């Protein structure tokens, strides 16, 4: 263990770089400048680019023709620390206990990308240069939707041209188990409003004479699924890439199964689309979810009201090759066709992001797998997809035209976004080793 490296990591964690809170705007600038000073001291040409939001740090070594160009992405912004009372120690005063670092940003994402920074530093110290042309891009708005990143990439497309991107901002399936994520789900959001009478009505005087919008809403929502947990919207599964046999076999070996899902969720029993395991349902099958539902009286006691309207917020998790616009159009048609008599349905579509999948056996993925193996000796690399969405991965593909390798180092219980966020010291140093091995392997990916 290198104490100096650990101390620098802890210093980085002391910046309360909460991107969503305007009160911290200057903390983000200071954090970006601190990182830039570190990168400059390592000999990298480093620029802190202001944006309309928080700055983007870009660092490069001297690029030479004939070498592969690798971008490493990270984000120095963090989620708010609230609720503070639930932390065992202050979120921006990092504490080490039982060989875990506790602090906001320890796992998401400072620890993960700063390990790459230190790996780069070690290689530069020992060899005087890196085996690849490196672009390190660290932004400050990931936790608020990377609002200014796409424009930045488009404006600086030429200087950011690269052969591929590596990100450590996902998870490992278990401690000590190296993990390559080769797929992500997309998402599409919709809000549904069912409108009936012009105003709330007395349910004694009018109840029975008009359709109740809340009743109409739940009847409508109930048509989204069949009894076997399948989404019942016509054409919903048309473009879904079926799971391949090797994936189903590989995921059987993942040390996190249905019993763990039951344990972690605390649900009375598991339920989902028939014919799939929980991992398959969450990583490779699409869903329709009701995220919120409301309308009518919400106060204490009872009130005999017939609400004039009711609403629901829906999201759909998508898998390759579903397209958000296509799915939203199909759901809209489904809901409108089934709108109960006596009410009107209004539908607004919200944010969306495409699903992502890359080939885990491509030369670059194989290079990443060899690097993971070296960082975590003696364990086979788990090949997984993830149920969540990382929209920037699609932004990179759209704007720069390159694939992204997802080499996550966080553990399932890292509490990202929650109180007592943590990152194991051993994963931090594994990240340093991973970076060194990764740049070596990516320099000659077809070996």
Binding residues for Zn ion (CB under 5 A): 108
Q: Strands (DSSP E) along 298-397, which ranges?
A: 305-306, 309-318, 344-353, 356-357, 382-386
Contacts of 150 (CB under 8 A, 6+ apart): 395, 398, 399
Q: Which is nearer to Zn ion, 16 or 320 (CB)?
A: 16
| Cross-strand partners of 101 | 96, 423
What token pair was written down for 225?
């699924």
Residue 167 is classified by DSSP as E
- Cβ 439 to Zn ion, closest distance in Å? 25
Task: Return the CA Rg of the chain.
Answer: 24
Question: How far from the centroid of its chain's Cα atoms is residue 238's Cα?
Answer: 25
Query: Which residue has its beta carbon closest to Zn ion?
Result: 108
CB of 251 to Zn ion, least distance (A): 24
Can you tell me whether residue 397 is helix, strand or coil?
Answer: helix
Strands of 342-433 (E only): list them: 344-353, 356-357, 382-386, 404-406, 422-424
Containing 355, the helix (H) or strand (E) segment is: none
Separation between Cα atoms, residue 10 and residue 4, nearest integer Å: 10
* Shortest CB 149 distance to Zn ion, Å: 14
* Min separation Cβ 236 and Zn ion, Å: 29
Query: In whole angstroms, how close is the CB of 213 to Zn ion at the nearest point?
Result: 37
CB of 417 to Zn ion, least distance (A): 6
- Residue with smaller CB distance to Zn ion, 169 or 354: 169
Residue 108 or 441: which CB sits closer to Zn ion?
Answer: 108
**Cα gap 44→211, rounded to integer Å:** 67
Nearest one of 383, 353, 384, 355 to 369, comparing CA atoms: 383
CB of 12 or CB of 236, closer to Zn ion: 12
- Shortest Å distance, C-beta 171 to Zn ion: 11
CB of 75 to Zn ion, least distance (A): 8
Which strand (E) or helix (H) includes residue 60? strand 56-60
Smallest gap from Cβ 107 to Zn ion, in A, equals: 9
Closer of 78 and 367 to Zn ion (Cβ):
78
Closer to Zn ion at the Cβ: 108 or 403?
Answer: 108
8 Å CB contact between 303 and 275:
no
Please tell me whether residue 259 adopts helix, strand or coil conformation: helix
Quote the least distance from Cβ 391 to Zn ion, whole Å. Answer: 12
Residue 159's φ and ψ, nearest 5 degrees, are: -75, -10
Whichever of 166 and 221 has its CB closer to Zn ion, that residue is: 166
Tell me which H or E stretch contains 202. Answer: strand 201-202
* Helix, strand counts (H, E) of the chain: 12, 18
Of 168 and 322, which has the nearer Cβ to Zn ion?
Answer: 168
Residue 143 Cβ vs Zn ion, minimum distance, rounded to whole Å: 5
Q: Closer to Zn ion at the Cβ: 5 or 427? A: 427
Under 8 Å between Cβ of 184 and 393: yes
If the CB atoms of residues 137 and 331 are measured against Zn ion, the closer one turns out to be 137
Q: With respect to Zn ion, which residue has the nearer C-beta, 108 or 139?
A: 108
Taking Cα atoms as reference points, which of 347, 319, 48, 326 lies closest to residue 221?
Answer: 347
Contacts of the segment 120-124: beta carbons below 8 A, 24+ positions apart: 120/42, 120/44, 120/435, 120/439, 121/42, 122/432, 122/436, 123/435, 123/436, 123/439, 124/42, 124/43, 124/61
């Amino acid at each position: 263990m290198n104490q100096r490296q650990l101390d620098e990591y802890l210093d980085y964690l002391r910046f309360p770089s909460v991107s969503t809170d305007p009160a911290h705007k200057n903390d983000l600038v200071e954090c970006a400048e601190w990182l830039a000073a570190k990168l400059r001291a390592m000999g990298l040409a480093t620029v802190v680019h202001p944006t309309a939001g928080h700055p983007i740090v870009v660092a490069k070594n001297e690029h030479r023709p004939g070498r592969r160009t690798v971008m490493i992405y990270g984000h120095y912004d963090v989620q708010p620390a609230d609720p503070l009372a639930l932390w065992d120690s202050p979120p921006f005063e990092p504490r080490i206990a039982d060989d875990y670092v506790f602090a906001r940003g320890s796992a998401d994402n400072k620890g993960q990308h700063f390990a790459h920074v230190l790996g780069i530093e070690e290689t530069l110290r020992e060899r005087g240069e890196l085996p690849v042309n490196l672009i390190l891009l660290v932004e400050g708005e990931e936790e608020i939707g990377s609002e200014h990143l796409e424009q930045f990439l488009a404006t600086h497309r030429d200087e950011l041209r690269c052969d591929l991107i590596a990100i450590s901002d996902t998870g490992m399936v278990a401690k000590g188990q190296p993990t390559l994520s080769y797929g992500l789900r997309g998402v599409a959001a919709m809000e549904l409003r069912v409108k009936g009478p012009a105003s709330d009505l007395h349910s004694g005087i009018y109840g029975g004479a008009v359709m109740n919008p809340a009743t109409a809403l739940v009847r409508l929502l109930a048509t989204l699924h069949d009894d076997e947990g399948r989404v019942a919207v016509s054409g919903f599964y048309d473009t879904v890439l079926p799971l391949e046999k090797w994936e189903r076999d590989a995921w059987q070996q993942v040390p996190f199964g249905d019993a763990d899902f039951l344990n972690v969720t605390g649900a009375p029993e598991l339920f989902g689309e028939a014919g799939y395991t929980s991992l398959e349902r969450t990583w490779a099958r699409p869903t329709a979810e009701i995220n919120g539902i409301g309308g009518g009286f919400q106060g204490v006691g009872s009130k005999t009201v017939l609400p004039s309207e009711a609403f629901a917020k829906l999201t759909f998790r998508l898998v390759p090759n579903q397209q958000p616009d296509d799915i939203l159009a199909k759901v809209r048609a489904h809901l409108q066709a089934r709108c109960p008599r006596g009410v009107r349905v209004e539908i607004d579509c919200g944010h969306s992001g495409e699903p992502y999948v890359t080939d885990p056996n491509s030369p670059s993925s194989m290079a990443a797998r060899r690097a993971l193996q070296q960082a975590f000796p003696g364990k086979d690399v788990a090949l997984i997809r993830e149920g969540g969405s990382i929209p920037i991965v699609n932004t990179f593909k759209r704007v720069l035209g390159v694939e992204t390798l997802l080499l996550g180092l966080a553990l399932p219980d890292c509490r990202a976004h929650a109180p007592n966020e943590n990152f194991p010291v051993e994963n931090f140093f594994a990240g340093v080793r991973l970076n060194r091995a990764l740049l070596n392997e990516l320099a000659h990916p077809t070996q």
